[in-house]
Amino acid sequence: MCGIVGYIGEEQAAPLLLQGLEKLEYRGYDSAGVAVYTGEKLEVAKAKGRLKILSDMLDEGKSLRGTVGIGHTRWATHGAPSDINSHPQVSDSGKFAVVHNGIIENYLTLKTFLMDRGVTFVSETDTEVVAQLLEYYYKKYHCDILEAMIRVIHKVEGSYALGVICQDSPDELYAVRKDSPLIVGLGQGESFIASDVPAILAKTREIYRLNDNEIVRLTRSGVTVFNTDRDEVHKEPVHIDWDVSAAEKGGYEHFMFKEIMEQPKAIRDTISPRIRDGKIVLDDITLTREQVESFRRIVIVACGSAYHVGVVAKYALEQLTRIPVEVDVASEFRYRHPIIDDKALVLIISQSGETADTLAAMREAKRLGARTLSIVNVVGSSIANESDDVLYTWAGPEIAVATTKAYSTQLAVVYLLALYLADLLDTISPEEYESYLDDLQKLPEQIEAVLQNREHIQYFASRNFNAKDIFFIGRNIDYALSLEGSLKLKEISYIHSEAYAAGELKHGTISLVEDGTLVVALASYLPLFDKTMSNVKEVKARGAYVLGLTVEGKTEIEKETDFVFYLPATNTMMQPSLMVVPLQLFAYYVAAMKGCDIDKPRNLAKSVTVE
């Protein structure tokens, strides 16, 4: 959520800033703005609504002269979406312009402090406090910008990625971050800041990832990073080797569809390098057998779809390792005084590695002495950096707000981990291990087969995209997956849906089922197939229209349901990896038929870096 871009170089800044912001649109936003030094002063242009409005206002940036500037897409937190509340926010005299991602938690105290000293505020944002405070210190201490920045970061509480320009130093751009992502792009005679790589990928592939409270000064001749004692910090550049097309649509109508189609490759990339000579090799983690034996339980914390991966992981990890597993939503875990100590392994799952609640939950677990292991997609992100061990999902950049390939690769890593730990603890026989590993390696090819059959789901979606309420039901691991099926549908198609453990429906929710209610019954967990069919009968008896999903050969489902989608069979633990694909496709096709903004659903953001 919110996007930052900054540029200093020889080219006209505004068009570059707008192009960069366009690449960050996927993160979700409600207004946009840029500030550029025009040769005499800072000029700011902002507009509520789509970036296109700002771009039209500025003739794609051409009407704004100047070669240094900052830009922002805002997702409102403090103050409604409006031109005034959009960033950049400017200090009283217009000297400082600031863009900000994150939340300044003590902004009210600071605002009062400044207002008592005669400063006038124009917006409702927490960000304006930063711009005003910079100017206040800059004037009060007659200091340079670096010093003013250091004073500001000592004063503010909360999370921030900040881009700053100042009229008095038109050949410099400053930035700093804490708990909110920010990278620095390194070019020839030019440099960039951005909240995410796609914004600058067209211009450079060499970047610095900033650590918390490292302040960076960008000039046309180079980049210098400082700590809060003004000491220079040596940074190693990181080379981004993504294919540019990985961050572009490549002929597909939507990123989400492209990412659904990329799942076989993403899973292959995630598992193949970790299987050598019939064994899982997790070079990336350093857990010993003794350490694993000392864990009394595993606690999984995550948000949204990543949490749903955790629910599947509970079944997989308990089944294979016999270690008890708890799964918790990160925003709950962090505030419930969790009972955690060094006998717990806390597993953190996150695509972005920057989700504020997940990061805070992980820090709480560490504070309490737990060992932390994260499953993360974005290399070098905060969660990856701060956890004791990290297992990366090699899904590549995920642009669509609704996750698909990240979810699938997270599941793949969960299976790798469960098998690896089971082998370490001797809770699995060599034959079972080999058979699971075989199944795991077949998944990409089996997903390809499911994708080939997508027209069947498209047809079903075309008959049902007007549904008002949809229920997803299943038992055991099918229930775990139904949570994701339901979320996928509601977030992009805006159709109300609920996921229910099939056996739980009759305890209340079945009262909502009436003539024509659509029920999606997941029945791939064969030990409980008959039980699920009994629940299907219950909803059919109340008029439901039922889509049944099961494995090839289970044709008896046809007697009970109205429409069937068959999936290739694998072991029950890995079945969600196959079954999730028709659920993603169903959500996608329904949303497309309803004309929804699939890649940028309303009110949602890709990376939720505020609480």
| Minimum gap (Å) between residue 355 Cβ and ligand F6R | 3
Contacts to ligand F6R from residues 3-42, by CB under 6 A? none
Query: Does 303 interact with ligand F6R (rule: CB under 6 A)?
Result: yes
Query: Does 381 interact with ligand F6R (rule: CB under 6 A)?
Result: no
| Minimum gap (Å) between residue 255 Cβ and ligand F6R | 12
| Minimum gap (Å) between residue 486 Cβ and ligand F6R | 11
Do residues 601 and 491 lie in contact, with contact meaning Cβ atoms separated by under 8 Å? yes
Spatial distance between the Cα atoms of 394 and 383, rounded to a whole number of angstroms: 16
Do residues 284 and 389 lie in contact, with contact meaning Cβ atoms separated by under 8 Å? yes
| Minimum gap (Å) between residue 80 Cβ and ligand F6R | 23
For this structure, is 606 an active site residue? yes
| Minimum gap (Å) between residue 68 Cβ and ligand F6R | 32
Q: Which residues pair with 219 in a beta bridge?
A: 222
Among the listed ranges 41-49, 160-168, 297-305, 538-546, the one in contact with ligand F6R (CB under 6 A) is 297-305
Spatial distance between the Cα atoms of 311 and 594, rounded to a whole number of angstroms: 30
Judge if the upstream peptide bond of residue 181 is cis by omega within 30 degrees of 0.
Answer: no
Spatial distance between the Cα atoms of 43 and 90, rounded to a whole number of angstroms: 10
Q: What single string gives the DSSP state of each residue in 271-314? A: HGGGEETTEE--TT----HHHHHH-SEEEEEE-HHHHHHHHHHH
Contacts to ligand F6R from residues 41-70, by CB under 6 A? none
Note the helical H segments in 322-426: 330-333, 356-367, 382-386, 405-425
Residue 166: enclosing H or E segment and its boundaries?
strand 158-166
Q: Report CA-CA distances (Å) from 44 to 70, 444, 536, 596.
A: 10, 49, 60, 32
Closest CB to ligand F6R among 38 and 607?
A: 607
Contacts to ligand F6R from residues 324-363, by CB under 6 A? 350-352, 355, 358
Closest CB to ligand F6R among 67 and 584?
A: 584
Closest CB to ligand F6R among 169 and 263?
A: 263
Closest CB to ligand F6R among 424 and 470?
A: 470
Catalytic residue among 111, 178, 554, 606: 606
Closest CB to ligand F6R among 98 and 375?
A: 375
State which of residues 305, 408, 486, 575 lies at the interface with ligand F6R (CB under 6 A).
305
Phi and psi, residue 424, nearest 5°: -60, -35
State which of residues 412, 587, 608, 610 lies at the interface with ligand F6R (CB under 6 A).
608
Q: What track of x and - describes contact with ligand F6R for positions 428 through 467 (by CB under 6 A)?
A: ----------------------------------------
HEC sequence for 452-475: HCHHHHHHHHHHHCCCCEEEEEEC
State which of residues 316, 317, 345, 402 lies at the interface with ligand F6R (CB under 6 A).
402
Contacts to ligand F6R from residues 139-198, by CB under 6 A? none
Closest CB to ligand F6R among 198 and 304?
A: 304
CA-angle at 230, arms to 228 and 235, nearest 5° = 85
Closest CB to ligand F6R among 127 and 403?
A: 403
| Minimum gap (Å) between residue 357 Cβ and ligand F6R | 8
For this structure, is 48 an active site residue? no
Give the burial class of 427: count Cβ atoms within 10 A of its Cβ; 0-12 exposed, 13-18 middle, 19 or more buried.
Answer: middle
Do residues 174 and 218 lie in contact, with contact meaning Cβ atoms separated by under 8 Å? yes
Do residues 42 and 90 lie in contact, with contact meaning Cβ atoms separated by under 8 Å? yes
Closest CB to ligand F6R among 73 and 355?
A: 355
By beta-carbon distance, which residue lies closest to ligand F6R?
304
| Minimum gap (Å) between residue 520 Cβ and ligand F6R | 17
Query: Does 491 interact with ligand F6R (rule: CB under 6 A)?
Result: yes
State which of residues 181, 304, 474, 485 lies at the interface with ligand F6R (CB under 6 A).
304
Query: Does 71 interact with ligand F6R (rule: CB under 6 A)?
Result: no
| Minimum gap (Å) between residue 352 Cβ and ligand F6R | 3
The single-letter DSSP state of residue 251 is T
Q: State both tokens at 190.
A: 């030019």
Do residues 605 and 27 lie in contact, with contact meaning Cβ atoms separated by under 8 Å? yes
Give the burial class of 326: count Cβ atoms within 10 A of its Cβ; 0-12 exposed, 13-18 middle, 19 or more buried.
Answer: middle
Phi and psi, residue 86, nearest 5°: -65, 160
Q: Read off the amino acid at residue 121.
A: F
Closest CB to ligand F6R among 381 and 517?
A: 381
State which of residues 393, 403, 446, 532 lies at the interface with ligand F6R (CB under 6 A).
403
With tokens 């490292």, the residue in question is 214
Spatial distance between the Cα atoms of 486 and 472, rounded to a whole number of angstroms: 6
Note the helical H segments in 101-254: 107-115, 127-140, 145-155
Do residues 16 and 55 lie in contact, with contact meaning Cβ atoms separated by under 8 Å? no
Q: What track of x and - describes contact with ligand F6R for positions 219 through 248 (by CB under 6 A)?
A: ------------------------------
Hey, what's the torsion of the CAs at 476, 413, 330, 523, to 10 degrees? -20
State which of residues 133, 134, 306, 574 lies at the interface with ligand F6R (CB under 6 A).
306
Q: What SS3 state is found at 396?
A: coil
| Minimum gap (Å) between residue 583 Cβ and ligand F6R | 12
Closest CB to ligand F6R among 98 and 260?
A: 260
Q: Read off the amino acid at residue 586.
A: F
Closest CB to ligand F6R among 175 and 608?
A: 608
The single-letter DSSP state of residue 198 is G
Q: State both tokens at 207.
A: 């970047």
Do residues 576 and 477 lie in contact, with contact meaning Cβ atoms separated by under 8 Å? yes
Spatial distance between the Cα atoms of 177 and 199, rounded to a whole number of angstroms: 17
Catalytic residue among 2, 166, 303, 596: 2
Query: Does 523 interact with ligand F6R (rule: CB under 6 A)?
Result: no
| Minimum gap (Å) between residue 358 Cβ and ligand F6R | 5
How many residues interact with ligand F6R (rule CB under 6 A)? 15
Phi and psi, residue 10, nearest 5°: -105, -15
| Minimum gap (Å) between residue 278 Cβ and ligand F6R | 31
| Minimum gap (Å) between residue 104 Cβ and ligand F6R | 22
Closest CB to ligand F6R among 127 and 358?
A: 358
Contact positions toward ligand F6R, by CB under 6 A? 303-306, 350-352, 355, 358, 402-403, 487, 491, 607-608
- Supply the residues annotated as catalytic: 2, 606
